[in-house]
Structure 1
Amino acid sequence: MIDQAGKLRTMVDGSSAPELQAKQPKIYSILSGKGGVGKTSIAVNLGIALHKLGKRVLILDADIGMGNVNILLGEVVRYDILDALKTGISLRDIIVSSRYGIDIMMGGADLFGLEELDAEQQAGIHKSLGVLEEYDIIIIDNGAGISRQSLAFTILGDELILVTTPEPTAITDAYKVLKIVSLYKLKSSVKVVINQAHNQENADETFEKLYHTSKEFLKLKLERAGSIFSDSRVNRAVMDQVPFVVKYPTSLACKGVDAMARGMLNGESGIERVDALSRLGNRILRIFG
């Protein structure tokens, strides 16, 4: 698995293709310990928030066989990376430009078909990777849990973002992922996003649990990437297939993602303290909305 990931890393960072070295996009790999914590929603909305800040963003949906980035964006995708590997079409032809300014690329059923390609096919993929030069940021939306694909793309990313919620099961599964990252020395630090937090205290407490446990037993550095409060409008946006940062730009969830995006670009923690009036408005919406 590590060898396979090394091949992917080589293809993207251009170490075997000098023409790619002029410009390298920043790659963020997003994963979670379990499903249902809002990982894909964060990837999509974060991508749009970064686009609004002037960055050209590509989201790679690497959730093998379960990809749904295109569904959240309301876009139809005809081809994926597997098609490019098998048929020889260029990566540019499988990239879909969404109506919200970000581009998406679907992974397909198995991203490790690279091993089955002959030298000519691999050379073609290397050449077509030049399209990635056009992007400032690539966000990889991994599948939930631990698999050879998600671990490979953990290595592929420049930075790892782990999404969890305050639920005990989510925290436990998030810690399992951190154990694997530490065991295989995949990263020395991990950024953590607390999603669906009831309030700031709830988010802080959740992060502290992971932080202290990881520091004591894993020797792994955790950093806060952001806190996103529970917001009923997120589910409405999903049902409407419209990202919540677009449909509800004044929502608490949007504020959290916007702060996260600014923090990523400025090298700071993406935590934004929300005033009491905004929190009250969110509670009212949850009760009556």
Structure 2
Amino acid sequence: MVDQAQGLRELFQTRQPAEGNHTTRIITVTSGKGGVGKSNFTLNFALTLQRRGYKVLIFDADIGLANLDVLMGETPRYNLYHLLKRQKTIWEIIHRYYDLLYIAGGSGFQELLRLSEQDLEHFVNEVNKLNGHVDYIFFDTGAGLSKETLRFIIASDETFVITTPEPTAITDAYAIIKMVSNMNYDVEFRLIINRVSERREGKLTADKISMVAKQFLDLDIPALGYVLDDIHVSKAVKRQVPFTIAYPHSAASKAVSELVDQFLSAREQTADSGRGVRSFLSRMIRLLQN
């Protein structure tokens, strides 16, 4: 039986680093409050994107409640902590699930705040090896605007804000956008409305947030789309299998597929492929040192 490390080596050997202007694109996924389905959305969106032929990696960056591995029914042996302590290389802490790559959460991101300059340089050199080997890296952050989440938002190429039509979720999602805007950071936000009862509800919710952001913040916040409320999602969670795998023909799975198509269509219409891993790390380190 081929072991995990050997399988990953073979996977990366088939992919040469990107050349020219094509670089790895970094996307942060966040939400104003917990319980809106952020991690579940991230996992299933990434899986669907991977099935379109792209190489995708997820960092579970929710420091307090890392749970991507639970949604997959996985028990990863290594996480970012082992890289920071120089016990493992970047390739050795990457796990594979249906060819989706992920790095498990843990105390690793807290350790980032306490690294020496030498250890920080080692971290940058290791993570920078991913550039060009994957097309997209998703950082699944904690809910709310913590200092850690703010750093990911600012350093990324774009940020997905997940909300539901509930008033408290809408208010908290807008609060994140407002707080980042008031800090004068130029961030590309996209809205995803989760658990909508019908398409009209999703559109009305997105329009409400976009209108307020335009009126009071002078920001254009486009909506990527919405995901219908679907009993198959909770069933999949209980089975610890992503719903796009467990129930590929469900309403939620079809909605995520449409979102991926819209996302890729938008990417084709712009020459901006992202600033790359090293640029992301440079911005992140500056924020860590402030």
TM-score range, shorter chain: 0.7 to 0.9
- 1:124 maps to 122
Q: CA deviation at 1:120?
A: 4.1
Q: CA deviation at 1:21?
A: 8.0
- 2:99 maps to 101
Q: CA deviation at 1:158?
A: 0.6
- 1:73 maps to 72
Distance 2:19 2:90 in 1: 18
User: Cα distance 1:120–1:174, how it changes in 2: closer, same or farther (>3 A)?
Assistant: closer
Q: Which moved more, 1:147-156 or 1:122-131?
A: 122-131
- 1:40 maps to 39
Distance 1:229 1:202 in 2: 10
The residue identity in structure 1 corresponding to 2:199 is Q
Q: CA deviation at 1:20?
A: 9.2
Distance 2:160 2:117 in 1: 34
Distance 2:187 2:112 in 1: 28
RMSD of aligned Cα (Å): 2.1
Distance 1:208 1:117 in 2: 43
Distance 2:88 2:34 in 1: 32
Q: Which moved more, 1:169-178 or 1:124-133?
A: 124-133
The residue identity in structure 1 corresponding to 2:138 is I
1:166 aligned onto 2:165: yes
User: Cα distance 1:186–1:151, how it changes in 2: closer, same or farther (>3 A)?
Assistant: same
User: Cα distance 1:48–1:218, how it changes in 2: closer, same or farther (>3 A)?
Assistant: same
Contact 1:188 1:220 in 2 (8 A): no
1:137 aligned onto 2:125: no
Q: CA deviation at 1:128?
A: 1.7
Q: CA deviation at 1:110?
A: 5.0
Q: CA deviation at 1:109?
A: 2.1
Task: Determine which structure has greater relative contact order: mean sequence separation of CA pairs < 8 Å that are 6+ residues apart, divided by chain length.
Answer: 2
Contact 2:29 2:38 in 1 (8 A): yes
Question: Residues 176-213 of structure 1: CA distance to partner in whole angstroms, max 9, x if unpaired?
Answer: 11111211233343100000001011111111110111
Q: Which moved more, 1:68-77 or 1:103-112?
A: 103-112
SS at match of 2:85: helix
Q: Which moved more, 1:55-64 or 1:186-195?
A: 186-195
Q: CA deviation at 1:175?
A: 1.1
Contact 2:61 2:139 in 1 (8 A): yes
- Count of residue pairs the alignment pairs up: 250
Distance 1:208 1:68 in 2: 31
TM-score, normalised to structure 2's length?
Answer: 0.81
The residue identity in structure 1 corresponding to 2:23 is Q
Contact 2:153 2:187 in 1 (8 A): no
SS at match of 1:161: strand
Q: CA deviation at 1:82?
A: 2.2
Q: CA deviation at 1:88?
A: 4.2
Q: Which moved more, 1:44-53 or 1:213-222?
A: 213-222
Q: CA deviation at 1:148?
A: 0.6
Contact 2:30 2:143 in 1 (8 A): yes
Distance 2:153 2:182 in 1: 13
Contact 2:202 2:225 in 1 (8 A): no
Q: Which runs of 5+ in 2 are unaligned?
A: 1-16, 268-290
The within-5 A match list for 1:128-277 is 128-133=126-131, 134-267=133-266
Q: CA deviation at 1:30?
A: 0.5
Identity of aligned residues (%): 35
TM-score, normalised to structure 1's length?
Answer: 0.81
User: Cα distance 1:75–1:131, how it changes in 2: closer, same or farther (>3 A)?
Assistant: farther
User: Cα distance 1:197–1:191, how it changes in 2: closer, same or farther (>3 A)?
Assistant: same
Q: Which moved more, 1:67-76 or 1:228-237?
A: 67-76
The residue identity in structure 1 corresponding to 2:215 is E
SS at match of 1:103: strand
User: Cα distance 1:173–1:25, how it changes in 2: closer, same or farther (>3 A)?
Assistant: same
Contact 1:88 1:121 in 2 (8 A): no
